[in-house]
Chains A and B, each alone.
Chain A
Amino acid sequence: GAGVSQSPSNKVTEKGKDVELRCDPISGHTALYWYRQRLGQGLEFLIYFQGNSAPDKSGLPSDRFSAERTGESVSTLTIQRTQQEDSAVYLCASSLGPTGTYEQYFGPGTRLTVT
């Protein structure tokens, strides 16, 4: 079946602009996660959705970052007034549930470059 998809695959934007990143999870997966991976670093957790609610937003680095999920499906991560330090690969993952019983399946990522 189809895996997790993300769009766009690459995004180049100017400092100060807003960007929107999209994630389509595997159908039926109620848990959805966003991570960020800066160059040469591991993945950093950003936000977790269970259904359409976000019980854990603890990883969002600033109030310029926000995310929403609609219809227990698609999620969008929005970064306002982008800064150069926002340049990274943004990864989305989904799973059947929020425990270790269920594997997190990752998308291919969106590479964001802020110039």
Chain B
Amino acid sequence: AQRVTQPEKLLSVFKGAPVELKCNYSYSGSPELFWYVQYSRQRLQLLLRHISRESIKGFTADLNKGETSFHLKKPFAQEEDSAMYYCALGVYNQGGKLIFGQGTELSVKP
């Protein structure tokens, strides 16, 4: 079964603290993982994808196939990072649909 699990609905940290948003997936094929972000009153947008292995806005995520995880990390959280974060699994055998986790709301307090 194709599934994405984000165990935390809400993560609250103070500015400057490290952040880790957890994501685990279940997929029998070769996974393509993404993190999407939705800031308040904005539309959903791509934050980063594992194939590009880049850091966006200080966030990184490493695909760990052994643990079937794709956790999102940032060493020093900023208030502007407060948003909803969704982990997504790309399924391309039928045309590229995304399977989303339930999302984690990140709240960064001053």
Are B95 and A48 neighbours in the complex by a CB distance under 8 Å?
Answer: yes
CB-based contact B95/A55 at 8 Å: yes
Residues in A whose Cβ lies below 8 Å from that of B69: none
Q: How far is the CB of B60 from chain A (nearest CB, A)?
A: 18
Q: Smallest CB–CB gap between A6 and chain B, Å? A: 10
Specify the chain A residue showing the minimal Cβ separation from B92.
A99
Assuming the contacts A55-B95, A99-B92, asked whether A42 and B102 have C-beta atoms less than 8 A apart, the reply is yes
Residue B43 contacts which of A44, A99, A108 (CB distance < 8 angstroms)? A108
Q: Which residues of A contact B32 (CB under 8 A)?
A: 100
Closest B residue by C-beta to A56: B94
A98 touches B98 (CB 8 A): no
Contact of B96 among A35, A42, A100, A105 (CB under 8 A): A100
- In the complex, whether A25 has a CB less than 8 A from a CB of chain B is no
| Closest beta carbon of chain A to B44's beta carbon, Å | 4
Stretch at the interface among B13-21, B45-53, B73-81: B45-53
Can you offer 17 A-B residue contacts whose CB atoms are under 8 A?
A: A31-B95, A31-B96, A33-B97, A33-B98, A35-B98, A35-B100, A40-B102, A41-B102, A44-B100, A48-B97, A50-B95, A55-B94, A91-B44, A97-B96, A99-B90, A100-B49, A104-B96
A-B interface, 5 closest residue pairs, ranked by CB to CB distance from nearest: A98-B96, A42-B100, A100-B32, A106-B44, A98-B95
Chain A residues engaging chain B, CB cutoff 8 angstroms? 3, 31, 33, 35, 40-45, 48, 50, 55-56, 58-59, 91, 95, 97-100, 102-109
Which residues of B line the A interface, CB within 8 A? Answer: 4, 6, 9, 32, 34, 43-46, 49, 51, 86, 88, 90, 92, 94-103
